[in-house]
Amino acid sequence: MADKFKPFVPPQVNMKEFTLKSILLGCIFGIIFGAATVYLALKAGLTVSASIPIAVIAITLGRKFFKTTILENNIIQTTGSAGESIAAGVVFTLPGFLFLTDGGGEKFFNYLTILTLAIFGGILGTLMMIPLRRSLIVKEHDTLPYPEGTACGDVLVAGEKGGDFAKMAFYGLGFATLYAILQKVLHVIAEVPSYMTQQVNRFFPSARVSGEITPEYMGVGYIIGPRIAGVLVAGGVLSWLVLIPLLATLVPADAIATQLVKLGYLASITTPGGKGNWDPSAHTFADFSSAIYFAYVRQIGAGAVAAGGFITLIKTIPTIISSFKGSIGSLKNNGENEAATNEVPRTERDLNIKVVLFGSIALIVLMAFLPQLPGDSIGKKLLVGLLVVIFGAFFVTVSSRIVGLIGSSNNPISGMTIATLMGTCLVFIAVGWSGKLYEPMALVVGGMICIAAANAGGTSQDLKSGYIVGATPMYQQLSLFIGAVVSSIVIGLTVKFLDKPTAAMIANGVTDHAIGSTYFPAPQGTLMATLAKGILSYNLDWQFVLAGVFIAITMELCGIKALSFAVGAYLPLSTTLPIFVGGAIRGIVDNKRKKQNIHLSAEEEELGKGNLFATGLVAGGAVAGVIIAILAGFDGSAAVLAKLNMEEPLVGALGHGGYYLMGALLFALMGWVLYRVANKK
């Protein structure tokens, strides 16, 4: 099927693509979205996909003011998307320097170190995707949907075609934008309706069903389809409706609180607050479900993700080998005949495999000799660089496959980073390195792999978009390198800016670092530091990690893709449940077509009304999320947003149950609209 695929711009057509205006516009968007992602990730541990919003903006501004072609618009979104993915990787790991033993990593939390690691990680993620593009994007075009990449490509094509194609995508965009305003600005729609049984319930304590009922999750679910969405939500059901009620029955509240203290989610057992809102005087949690999730289930999920990743790697080895063989064969042909490059179709021209080889060697050497990186000898730093490249090659492949299935927004980057940290620390212990001296070095490996895996996920989506529209891969790869460097400059500045306490923070007792305080808790960074400290001091709860490993193995033995299930077990049910709703709608639509004996080609399906409307839902939700994140970063606009918040009067009038029910009904209305649109011819 992939061999029969025809891109929107045929290979023989030469069109403006890698131009100065497309690169400059892409860099501007990378700076904006990168800064917004830093704020959002530090504040809530969440990120918003940037590729589709940038594509939508590129179409709108490009056509009206800059006369850009579809391939130039693709370069704009490719360059700009690097900022969001690198920012996520930086924020999820590098703040961990502040939380290492005795402040031993604080000296590395400086702008130069953050900048260096961001650039290196971003480049590594793109480098490792060069030889994988043909095997993952081209050969598996029909089996790996890459939802954001497909959606982004469809948006670009729809914008170029105009007419009904553009209208349907932008109808979805408008619907999602209006929905997002009602939800995230006015708070007429509840953001996460939930129902949890009481801890004192003797039959089913602290079981929770919840859903982050956003348009982007419904759109992603529709794009990935019912099968993958069903496996995802099954993992969530195991965590939230099996493991948590079971642990709530067996584990005392004080033991849960002690575990949260150990992981850094609670200051001390005598301090109120933290995950689950601990009450030390009553020895209980306001939310047992969240407390148990962060204390135990996330570690189980991380073990499952790590095992699912290794299983995925084993299955992918033949594909990787054939990909490298193809790249090396292409290199040999080019050496024998310089004219060979001209014989390769424009849409199949990647950067030379030498770039990957020499780029990887250069990264290792630079990491060994740059003084701003941790390590007291060149030999030790060489080992760190080698581990970065080895883990990078593995997790870039895994990350690309994960986002190919469920999208970049749900890529469990922190789970892969946890696995990297564990592996790195075990290597350190094996060579006799233990104790606080090696914690910053372990965090460097974890940080760079987190950045590389995040950027690889974004790169994969971009290459998928390029494959759909008919872009030149080589130009996309070059633009990703440029975007990684430019956005890293601003990401480092933003992190340091937000870490500086404001006057209001100082008045409330925050004196040294805003990051790690209640203002910017940086939850993932705290967890990464805790893991590095726990393993290198021989004090990690391996029993939970290994439980997750064998859950993944059990799923694989049952014929279920372990990685998809593991991702569902690691993520909150509030994420996977609304995705499942979108997938279920797609399943109903497909079943109806099957009964009516309607058969669509892959291209017809991608540009069908349902897919385009779902694309608009993803784009509208993401655009609104980024804009609101930016506005919330300024005191004046944040005050205005607070005044517009109608949640309190609505809860007062309807009660929490009524407020949640109204949100669920409006989410159902959106699903009904998507169903009706998808059934149109």
Tell me which of 87-91, 211-215, 326-330 is least confident.
326-330
- Whether 417 contacts 93, CB under 8 Å: yes
Tell me which of 38-52, 221-235, 500-514 is least confident.
38-52
Mean per-residue pLDDT for 318-323?
61
Residue 313 has pLDDT above 70, yes or no: no
How far apart are the C-alpha atoms of 463 and 347, rounded to whole Å? 11
pLDDT digits (tens, 9 = 90+) for 439-467: 899 899 888 988 998 899 889 999 999 99
**Token pair belonging to 132:** 């994988």
**Token pair belonging to 3:** 């061999």
> If we measure between CA atoms, which residue out of 355, 421, 413, 358 comes closest to residue 388?
421
| Position 669, amino acid | L
Residues of the chain with pLDDT > 70: what percent? 89
How far apart are the C-alpha atoms of 479 and 471, rounded to whole Å? 12
pLDDT digits (tens, 9 = 90+) for 339-389: 444 567 888 888 888 898 999 999 999 999 988 888 888 988 998 899 899
- Whether 143 contacts 136, CB under 8 Å: no
Residues 6+ apart with CB under 8 A from 300: 239, 243, 544, 545, 547, 548, 551, 569
How far apart are the C-alpha atoms of 487 and 87, rounded to whole Å? 8
| Position 135, amino acid | S
Mean per-residue pLDDT for 620-631?
73
Label residue 529 exposed, middle or buried (CB < 10 Å: 0-12, 13-18, 19+): buried
pLDDT digits (tens, 9 = 90+) for 191-207: 889 898 888 888 889 99
In angstroms, what CA-CA distances link 529 with 273, 521, 543, 559?
20, 13, 19, 36
Mean per-residue pLDDT for 459-481?
93
How far apart are the C-alpha atoms of 183 and 628, rounded to whole Å? 11
pLDDT in the model for residue 530:
74
pLDDT in the model for residue 501:
80
φ/ψ of residue 509, rounded to 5:
95, 0
Handedness of CA 379, 384, 388, 390 (dihedral sign): positive
- Whether 493 contacts 182, CB under 8 Å: no
CA 451 distance to own-chain centroid: 11
| Position 448, amino acid | M
- What residues form DSSP beta bridges with 273? 278
How far apart are the C-alpha atoms of 47 and 450, rounded to whole Å? 14
Decide: helix, strand or coil at residue 515: strand
φ/ψ of residue 273, rounded to 5:
105, -150
- What residues form DSSP beta bridges with 194? 210
How far apart are the C-alpha atoms of 161 and 152, rounded to whole Å? 14
Residue 167 has pLDDT above 80, yes or no: no
Query: With bands split at pLDDT 50, 70 and 90, how would you rate the model's confidence at 188?
Result: very high
How far apart are the C-alpha atoms of 272 and 367, rounded to whole Å? 42
Residue 50 has pLDDT above 70, yes or no: no
φ/ψ of residue 210, rounded to 5:
-150, 160
Between residues 585 and 572, which one has the greater pLDDT?
585
Tell me which of 256-265, 305-314, 373-382 is least confident.
305-314
Query: With bands split at pLDDT 50, 70 and 90, how would you rate the model's confidence at 286?
Result: very high
Tell me which of 24-28, 60-64, 633-637 is least confident.
633-637
Give the relative orientation of helices 439-469 and 51-61 as an angle to the nearest 10 degrees: 40
Mean per-residue pLDDT for 410-423?
74
Q: What is the pTM of this model?
A: 0.75
- Whether 245 contacts 204, CB under 8 Å: yes
Query: With bands split at pLDDT 50, 70 and 90, how would you rate the model's confidence at 661?
Result: very high
- How big is the CA angle at 129 (ends 126 and 130), to the nearest 5 degrees? 95
pLDDT in the model for residue 325:
62
Residues of 136-145 as b/e, b for ≥16 C-beta within 10 angstroms? bbbbbbeebb
Which secondary-structure segment (H or E) carries 163?
helix 163-180
Residue 336 has pLDDT above 60, yes or no: no
Residue 49 has pLDDT above 70, yes or no: no
- How big is the CA angle at 116 (ends 113 and 120), to the nearest 5 degrees? 140
Task: Count Cβ atoms below 10 Å from residue 61 Cβ, excluding itself.
Answer: 15
**Token pair belonging to 97:** 């320097």
Under DSSP, the state recorded for 284 is E
| Position 295, amino acid | A
φ/ψ of residue 241, rounded to 5:
-115, 0
- Whether 82 contacts 122, CB under 8 Å: yes
Decide: helix, strand or coil at residue 195: strand
- Whether 35 contacts 497, CB under 8 Å: no
Residue 217 has pLDDT above 60, yes or no: yes
Mean per-residue pLDDT for 650-664?
92
- Whether 220 contacts 214, CB under 8 Å: no
- Alpha helices (H) in 407-438, listed in sequence order: 413-430
| Position 316, amino acid | T
Handedness of CA 308, 313, 316, 317 (dihedral sign): negative
Q: Up-side HSE of residue 160: CA atoms within 13 Å toward CB?
A: 20
How far apart are the C-alpha atoms of 239 and 256, rounded to whole Å? 16
Rg (CA), the chain: 24
Mean pLDDT (the chain) is: 84
pLDDT digits (tens, 9 = 90+) for 518-558: 677 776 777 788 778 878 877 778 899 899 999 999 999 99
